[in-house]
Structure 1
Amino acid sequence: MVQIKSAADIEAMKPACRHAADTLVMIEPYIRPGITTDEINDLVHDFTIKAGATPAPLNYHGFPKSVCTSVNHVVCHGIPCDKKIQDGDIINVDVTSIMNGWHGDTSKTFYVGTPRIQARKVTEVARQALEIGIQAVRPGATLGDIGYAIQSYVESEKCSVVREYCGHGIGRVFHEDPQVLHYGKPGTGLVLKPGMVFTIEPMVNLGKAAVKLLSDRWTVVTRDKSLSAQFEHTLAVTETGYEILTLPSR
């Protein structure tokens, strides 16, 4: 069931959302060739704990780390490890913070050193896809409107949208209803109402949309090994449109 959050609830979510966004600001200077994803995890973990927050991914259904780090053809849920990122890579850092019992969820794909042409292409399409999806959010619109807006743009750029993973409601629980698909038909699905809070987080592949789950049961990769990029915000539906909650405090 989709929860309608009060104005007070949404205000209470903002510290967690701001902290998640601030974490991405904090980590950006460290995204350089030679750093390991484990080191990124440790930086995120320490920053979160020092702020009095909790890293939501840690031990969530058994996930072993405090952040997801997805490099190149990894679509989502990459597990930090001792592998060093290299010049020309792209890496998505997906942060979810808990403060005062509320969750804030955001992610960004970073360039490592100098991006290659294809890496820049898929990253910029993913960045714009999120913006286009957000622009479709308003009372009376539908989830299908959001999905259609994203899918139409991504496919016009000769890229593809991942089907198996999607945005989600969020609040006191990490993953709530509704599921926010990044493809669809206009005018279909749940009608948006003020007080709904959810993420939009399109995963965009440079090649085909097909993905597979690795044996660790977490890491999702493109089947054709093409590059994948993602950006994510948590937002609330307002009386007149939307409010992005995962904006940094500085």
Structure 2
Amino acid sequence: MIVKTQAERDALECIGRIVSKTRDAMVSSVRVGMTTRELDEIGGRILEKYGAKSAPMIDYHFPGYTCISVNQTVAHGIPDDYKIKSGDLINVDVSAVLDGFYADTGKSIVVGDPIASHTVKQNLCRVAYEAMIAGISAAKLGNQINDIGISIFETAKKNGYTVIMNLTGHGIGRALHETPQAISNYYCRSENDKIELGQVLAIETFISNGSNMVRDSSNGWALKTIDGGFVAQFEHTIIVQEDGPAIITL
């Protein structure tokens, strides 16, 4: 989507605030022993409070208000009766729609107090966040879409990590997934479209301490690492401005 009016921008900023509030409330509610379904229900109640609808539920009939992915599950994790444990790597991904406008955001955390055994996962989360910020910084006029991927990949590489190559960010706005259909976490030659003024993008990082690919799981939704490694994911929705990207999901 290309934002052309103040009314469109206002609507996007509104749904951006809603998904960010939902994300932050869910993350702050994580407790050892609660189920991921209980965590998802918190998100559902917040979306309902603001009149928003879960985008994956409405658009794709996903069996949850949000995607909650644990440990070797990288994305599209279905909320269920799994009881959260200390040391779990959890990603909360919230996308929603209000009045025909969409926003998407995600955050990964390690459950429990920081201890030595959690260091690998905590470092992975740190780098995934830094890679997202680098990617967002590259989303500026004069650059191409694949400049975002270069920045993400270089951040991962200098920290000793790799990126997942078959998961990407995407355009967003009037639909959950719009042009560009893919914003890779690495340099992809074909993603050479110029970044446009007013363009709405979901910048999404998938940083791995192992394999660079994920595979489908038996439930038809969840995507898992192929080698048992871990992946941290962060995501913000942005609007490209003359003076740089504006994050609407802070």
Assess same fold via TM > 0.5. Answer: yes
Indicate which of 126, 129, 147 corresponds to 1:127.
Answer: 129
Secondary structure in 1 aligned to 2:120?
helix
- Are the equivalent residues in 1 in contact too, given 2:44–2:65 (CA < 8 A)? yes
Equivalence for 1:203: 206
- Are the equivalent residues in 1 in contact too, given 2:131–2:155 (CA < 8 A)? yes
1:185 and 1:220, CA in 2 relative to 1: closer, same or farther beyond 3 A?
closer
Secondary structure in 2 aligned to 1:199?
strand
1:143 partner amino acid: I
- Are the equivalent residues in 2 in contact too, given 1:7–1:195 (CA < 8 A)? no
Equivalence for 1:101: 100
Tell me how far apart the structure 2 counterparts of residues 52 and 62 of structure 1 sit (CA, whole Å): 18
- Considering only aligned residues, what root-mean-square deviation do their CA atoms show, in Å? 1.5
Equivalence for 2:38: 39
- Are the equivalent residues in 2 in contact too, given 1:206–1:226 (CA < 8 A)? yes
Tell me how far apart the structure 2 counterparts of residues 237 and 46 of structure 1 sit (CA, whole Å): 31
Shift of 1:185: 5.8
After the TM superposition, which parts of structure 1 deviate over 6 Å for at least 4 consecutive aligned residues?
A: none
| Structure 2 residues not aligned, in runs of 5+ | none
TM-score, scaled relative to structure 2: 0.94
Secondary structure in 2 aligned to 1:58?
helix
Tell me how far apart the structure 2 counterparts of residues 98 and 185 of structure 1 sit (CA, whole Å): 29
Indicate which of 209, 216, 219 corresponds to 2:219.
Answer: 216
Deviations 1:155-204 (A, max 9, x none): 22121111111111111211101021111069961111101101011111
Tell me how far apart the structure 2 counterparts of residues 12 and 124 of structure 1 sit (CA, whole Å): 31
Tell me how far apart the structure 2 counterparts of residues 76 and 185 of structure 1 sit (CA, whole Å): 21
Tell me how far apart the structure 1 counterparts of residues 148 and 97 of structure 2 sit (CA, whole Å): 26
Indicate which of 2, 5, 8 corresponds to 1:4.
Answer: 2
Equivalence for 1:70: 69
Secondary structure in 2 aligned to 1:233?
strand
Shift of 1:64: 1.0
Deviations 1:31-59 (A, max 9, x none): 12111100011111111111111111215
Count of aligned positions = 245
Identity, in percent, stands at 35
Equivalence for 1:246: 249
Indicate which of 217, 232, 240 corresponds to 1:237.
Answer: 240
| Structure 1 residues not aligned, in runs of 5+ | none
- Are the equivalent residues in 1 in contact too, given 2:35–2:80 (CA < 8 A)? yes
TM-score, scaled relative to structure 1: 0.94
Greater shift, 199-208 or 179-188, is seen at 179-188
